[in-house]
Structure 1
Amino acid sequence: MTRRAVVIGAGIAGLAGAALLAREGYVVEVVEQQDAVGGRAATWRHAGFTFDLGPSWYLMPEVFDHFFRLCGTSAAAELDLVALDPAYRVLREPSSGPGTAEALDVRTGHARELFEAREPGAGERLDAYLASAGETYDLAVREFLYRTWASPSALLDAELLRRAPTLARLLGTSLERFIGRRFSDPLLRQVLGYPAVFLGTAPDRAPALYHLMSHADLTTGVLYPRGGFGTVIDAVARCARRTGVVVHTSTQATGICTRTSNGRAHVTGVEVAAGGRSWVIPADVVLGAGDLHDLETRLVPAPLRTYPERWWRRRDPGPGAVLVHLGVRGRVPQLTHHTMFFTRDWRTNFDAILGPRPRVPSPASMYVCAPSRTDPGVAPPDHENLFVLVPVPAQTAIGSGGLDGGGDPVVEQVADEAIAAISRWAGVPDLASRIVVRRTVGPADFARDLSSWSGGALGPAHTLRQSAMLRGRNASAHVDGLLYAGGSTIPGIGLPMCLISAELAVKRLRGDASPHPLEPHPHEQHPLELHPREQHPLDQRAVIA
């Protein structure tokens, strides 16, 4: 009998889940409310610029390699990856005039020298720190990331029990304290603490377990897919297309249909609406790959919700963000591909965003990506492409963005201050006068366009109460056949985690409770033909119905 699956959301988790479900033998349709695929990792093209709208760090390459291997191909065949050197630059808020910010260029494999130069003895301590980070990273991959956590008995795993004392120390200590016990220099502490932002939280709120993130950037390195992160989405979409997956864009899921048999509910399909009409797509399995809050509180019938509204009131949505996309005339050599701007009073900055009395911070720490420093193709000749991310509270009242300063006042004020800070901190005095494209995005845009809970930019924060088995699960407790994937479920935030979440959905269907990644199907262990990336442009007619 034909088995049918419907995937809600065509971000990376939805497209990856669709590809893997099709390889399990399902006939798969994807519904996406936006007019293009990608979700948070979508692309905006304007006036010769190609802007990534969200993710911009290619970390944990082995996760991408594994996913593509499951699909019978490879990252090398699908993407044109380049290693960044330096991996990123750090600028610390200047205490005097323009261009006087402390600057550090962080180079993969050379952090020891950098640390030692700023703090005698810190090089040796960094060696120990990174050894611990690498060991913890390996443990996370072996025991945590690829588990479905379908049962609490997973905690009785022999290796987890053996490592329990170490894990308890790492979980019971904040990342900020863990770093502070080892290093004194404020800027070095910030270099090691900033990965907490990737996890949707602050160093004083993240468990020290997450020092494993430093293994990813300081040891493994940072890559960039030439052409931008839209090429990653295109590659995952190709994997789905090759298996016959159909994607319906500009189509909104309006409800999940169920039937009850022997006291249990089971999915039967998804109600959708597009172009002024509505219909039901039948399904034996539904994979919700959008925001979990939206899926549960809007689409699942109230009596069948695993995560009703009261559950969310006790959860942390993580930060919101104001995004600023800038097309700049002329070059900006003062920036590297990734540049981190850190305020001196870091704790006050984080408290403004995540504390009990949220407010937009000023001055604000921020992140600037200048992909045109590596990839001239994402901007017209003699221009730069700048993507600015300013963390703010996850509050839709902050407003929406717009083109050429046309967003809501608070959003545009954040953008103005960010441009001024880049100019002053990095020493680019004429930056504002050289801007030829300006687009802003605010928390209200995240809520409207991505159905993001509270307008959050990343997903629920990786605090202790929202990590591993304590995070939103990937299967409904009350509706058989209803699965979840994406950044708001296990294992967490970020493109690699979203790829793993898609795989976990398949493991749920198989009843696979092991901590191990899936193995490729036997006929895909050694694919006979891997087509060059250039031979696989995304055929919109084949993928989008």
Structure 2
Amino acid sequence: MTGDSRERRASAAPCGAGGERIVVVGAGIAGLAVAGLLSRDGHRVTVLERGERCGGRAGRYEVDGFRFDTGPSWYLMPEVFEHFFRLMGTSTGEALRLEALDPAYRVFGENYDEPLEIRSDLEETVRVFESVEPGAGKRIRRYLASAERTYRVAARHFLYTSYGSPASFLQLLDREVLAHLPQLAYQLLGSLRWLNHRTVRDTRLRQILGYPAVFLATQPRRAPALYHLMSYLDLADSVQYPQGGFSTIIDAVEDLAAGHGARITLGAEVTRITTDAPSPEERRGGPAGARTRRRRPRGRARVTGVTWRDSSSGREHHEPADRVISAADLHHTETQLLSRSQQTYPERYWARRQTGPGAVLVLLGVRGELPELAHHSLMFTEDWDENFAAIFDQPGRIPDPASIYVCRPSMTDPTVAPEGHENLFVLVPVAADVGIGHGGDDGGGAAGVEDVADQAIRQISRWAGIPDLEQRVVVRRTIGPADFAADYNAWRGNVLGPGHTLRQSAFLRGRMRSRTIDGLHYCGSTTVPGIGLPMCLISAENVLKDVRGDTSTGPLPESGERRG
């Protein structure tokens, strides 16, 4: 196959002539990671990416000497990154330049004069909580001890599995899981909001314990208390930053995938997943599969490859494959790339699911220094329930004021802004509603998006005490929910993926394999285990295990050798 799209040549290293032909749809971190792992395992892997750059939602925007990350900006769960890089024969020390943040983040509360400084240190966290609320120090120590235990059990038994076989469930019933079963059941039945309200009374402290629900694409009253494990990561473990920005993680994973033989083609939009069983559309003469029909074996259909369109010429191509792994949005994969009769998750399934929030992103280049802001700053409104209601329960209504997140990477990394300037990334959660519109440059986006951006700039100015912030902005770009839908095929324009509610967590989140098509797998933030860069790396490893037939529930040995 030779297309007109830009192709990254694989290395000359052998990629396993005896391996399977595998097509990966999408070159976000999950797609790149699974391509690297499978190539290293001896398979012949082709990655097809509709965009002109790898990374997906972990994107990058450069203008006038500013370099903005347009997606993930919190480096948590460092052991997951280290484990992945070791599986690929290297380490985070060799691939990235990480710096621990101090403070980890700063919290601004509505109607509070001074922000709170949060450091990733247990004793410092105890001190801060006790200084705000007498008695809270002792309670947060117990809370974080429980969070760490839950996190360790989850990492060893619940994350590194696709729940694809009965053996996966049986192996969960080992001594450690059984010992924690009463506590886990207790945490599943209660909400994160309920647990936080039992732990502390101060509004800001409750919000510090509850805001990780937004990382999980939901709200504290809908997230199971089990997810209090997230607080261990930022309050007691480590918040780091990769010098050069989060796109350096994408570059590193891309280099490893190509270095092990994966072929990455950009500007290649997959339009259909083909099988040996023609769909009703194909039987009526559609192009998808016209060149790939063959005798169908008895039983289920088998994947045969994908059709894709070259973005530069518009030409159609067919890429044959023994397996297809879609790292694209699962809703898009199921409802747009498969016929209705082949869908495991049709539209009626999605009608019962809870999407995560949308977002307006505001990228600002600012003249002069901004010491009032930390690398990460969180600004919480007093009435959080009302804020979340506007996002999840009342589509079309923009929170005012909003709880917002501000990242100032130029505090840590001088390469992301010209000398004498600052780089700000502002995220305003809104409803997952493409009707809010597209963003644009210099105020040129949809009115709804630009109104959110204006409001956020004024809020940062007031809350952080930067009265001339708006006048110092020299670069402004906005990104709205409609951009997430257009650029990443994101379901309803959401920013993260399906929310981690009780009914959408662990094995209830969905399968990593099609029920109707053999050889079709799913990967990434919209499937198991969930949202975030570490979860995407784990998802990639779970696909590798699935291809190998490995039903174990823990991480693979870092030597790369198979178990047993």
Q: For this structure pair, what is the TM-score category when the shorter chain's length is used for normalisation?
A: over 0.9
Shift of 1:2: 4.8
Q: Show CA shifts across 1:33-85 (max 9, x none).
A: 11111000011111100100100000000000000001000000000000000
CA distance in 2, matches of 1:199, 1:521: 31
The aligned residue for residue 104 of structure 1 is: 116
Shift of 1:523: 8.0
Alignment of 1:351-390 (within 5 A): 351-355=389-393, 359-390=397-428
CA contact (8 A) 2:363 2:425 kept: yes
1:302 partner amino acid? R
Shift of 1:191: 0.6
Alignment of 1:183 with 2:200, yes or no, is: yes
The aligned residue for residue 331 of structure 1 is: 369
Alignment of 1:151 with 2:165, yes or no, is: yes
The aligned residue for residue 455 of structure 2 is: 417
Match of 1:277 among 308, 315, 318: 315
Q: Show CA shifts across 1:362-396 (max 9, x none).
A: 11000000000111110000100000000000000
Q: Quick check: 25-34 or 320-329, which moved more?
A: 25-34
The aligned residue for residue 220 of structure 2 is: 203
Alignment of 1:70 with 2:87, yes or no, is: yes
Match of 1:118 among 123, 126, 132: 132
2:139 partner amino acid? R
How many residue pairs were aligned?
520
Unaligned runs of 5+ in 2: 1-17, 277-295
Shift of 1:163: 2.9
Match of 1:457 among 482, 486, 495: 495
CA contact (8 A) 1:101 1:426 kept: no
Determine helix, strand or coil for the equivalent of 1:273: strand
CA distance in 1, matches of 2:473, 2:95: 33
Q: Show CA shifts across 1:337-367 (max 9, x none).
A: 0000100111100011012555211110000
The aligned residue for residue 350 of structure 1 is: 388
Match of 2:110 among 69, 89, 93: 93
The aligned residue for residue 542 of structure 1 is: none
Alignment of 1:406-445 (within 5 A): 406-445=444-483
Shift of 1:152: 5.1
Alignment of 1:42-53 (within 5 A): 42-53=59-70
CA contact (8 A) 2:356 2:499 kept: yes
Q: Quick check: 257-266 or 223-232, which moved more?
A: 257-266
Shift of 1:261: 1.5
CA distance in 2, matches of 1:101, 1:428: 14
CA distance in 2, matches of 1:31, 1:519: 29
Compared with structure 1, are the counterparts of its residues 152 and 310 closer, same or farther at alpha carbon in structure 2 (3 Å cutoff)?
farther
The aligned residue for residue 229 of structure 2 is: 212
Unaligned runs of 5+ in 1: 95-99, 525-545
The aligned residue for residue 3 of structure 2 is: none
Match of 1:13 among 30, 37, 42: 30
1:314 partner amino acid? R
Match of 1:223 among 226, 240, 244: 240
CA distance in 1, matches of 2:166, 2:424: 45
Alignment of 1:399 with 2:437, yes or no, is: yes
CA contact (8 A) 1:443 1:455 kept: yes
Q: Show CA shifts across 1:269-304 (max 9, x none).
A: 110001210110111111100100001110022211
CA distance in 1, matches of 2:274, 2:173: 41
CA distance in 1, matches of 2:139, 2:466: 36
CA distance in 1, matches of 2:51, 2:398: 28
Alignment of 1:506-521 (within 5 A): 506-521=544-559
CA contact (8 A) 1:351 1:358 kept: no
Match of 2:149 among 135, 155, 168: 135
Shift of 1:164: 2.6
Alignment of 1:61 with 2:97, yes or no, is: no
TM-score, structure 2 as length reference = 0.90
2:489 partner amino acid? S
The aligned residue for residue 480 of structure 1 is: 518
The aligned residue for residue 265 of structure 1 is: 301
CA distance in 2, matches of 1:316, 1:475: 21
Q: CA RMSD in A?
A: 1.4
2:337 partner amino acid? L
Shift of 1:236: 0.4
Alignment of 1:163 with 2:180, yes or no, is: yes
1:364 partner amino acid? A
Determine helix, strand or coil for the equivalent of 1:388: strand
Q: Show CA shifts across 1:185-209 (max 9, x none).
A: 1111111110111000111110000
